[in-house]
Amino acid sequence: MTAYPRINGFSLIEILVAAAILSLWLPSSLYTLQLALTKQHKIEQQALTVESIMALKTKITAQWRQGQVSVDPGSLDWSLSAIDEQHSVLEISDADYQLRFWLTRQVVKHADPVGSKR
């Protein structure tokens, strides 16, 4: 029996085994990738919604402090309930969110940070 010298590289059997393992692994990894991309898209949509809610809140608050509110809410619903002349409650809602903000015309003074000089 003649012994043939080993040639560097992979044999046909090694390549076929690697291809079989890859064919078993590939569908599950593609499904995981699809789930991750879907989740990322949902998170981006939620971030855009929150960004539009906060932009609307900023506009309404600024106009309310000046005395008159007239904004285009887009796809958001909002209501402003006066408590007294200095305070109101702003409610902004969407299909996924319902947020309530306390509005005040008074300037709130914050306490000095610890260790600050006067």
Please state the pTM of the whole predicted model: 0.62
Averaged pLDDT of the chain: 84
pLDDT digits (tens, 9 = 90+) for 59-117: 998 888 888 888 887 788 889 888 888 889 999 988 888 999 998 887 666 666 665 55
Mean pLDDT, range 8-13, rounded to an integer: 82
Q: Give residue 110's pLDDT.
A: 66
| Cα gap 11→118, rounded to integer Å | 80
Q: Please give the full DSSP string across 41-63, using - where no structure is assigned.
A: HHHHHHHHHHHHHHHHHHHHHHH
Strands (E), the chain: 77-82, 87-93, 98-104
**Range from 18-22, 26-30, 67-71, 111-115 that averages highest in pLDDT:** 18-22
The confidence band for 38, taking pLDDT boundaries of 50, 70 and 90, is very high
pLDDT (0 to 100) of residue 67: 83
